[in-house]
Amino acid sequence: MERKKLEGNGLWESSRMMLPEHKQRIIEEEWEQLRRQKPVLDPQAVEEIERALAQLMEDHSPVTLTLFDPFEDNLARGIVMQLDRQRGIKLRWSEDDWDWIREGRGYFGFYII
């Protein structure tokens, strides 16, 4: 019986082993293909978002923000306590817990739900 050099998967039978470094690189490349580009908002859209956030802050109304992330969007729910172009949005999650949502974490890359 003559043995074929290439089998069903197109590889040499003896070359099925893969180095861990190669496997890790393949996984990283597949993950990078899922990366999304940050949406670019025009100045008018940014102004509309800022006006809506200012109104929500004045009303002490709860808000859900969808924060941009290159791989998946993140939700942030709370009450807008302060708006600052340098520091971001101060969002209160509960009575004792709050955080600043900064540009690096999605400020100006968010949508109001």
User: Among 112, 107, 113, 108, which Cα is nearest to 44's?
Assistant: 108
Q: With a cut of 80, say whether residue 109 has pLDDT above it.
A: no
* Each residue's pLDDT tens digit, 5-41: 555 555 555 556 778 888 888 888 888 888 888 888 8
19, two tokens = 């180095």
Are 101 and 76 in contact by the 8 Å Cβ rule? The answer is yes
* Each residue's pLDDT tens digit, 37-85: 888 888 898 888 889 999 999 999 999 988 888 888 888 899 999 888 7
Phi first, then psi: give them for residue 12, nearest 5 degrees: -65, 140
107, two tokens = 């400020």
pTM exceeds cut of 0.85: no
User: Which one-letter DSSP state was computed for residue 6?
Assistant: B
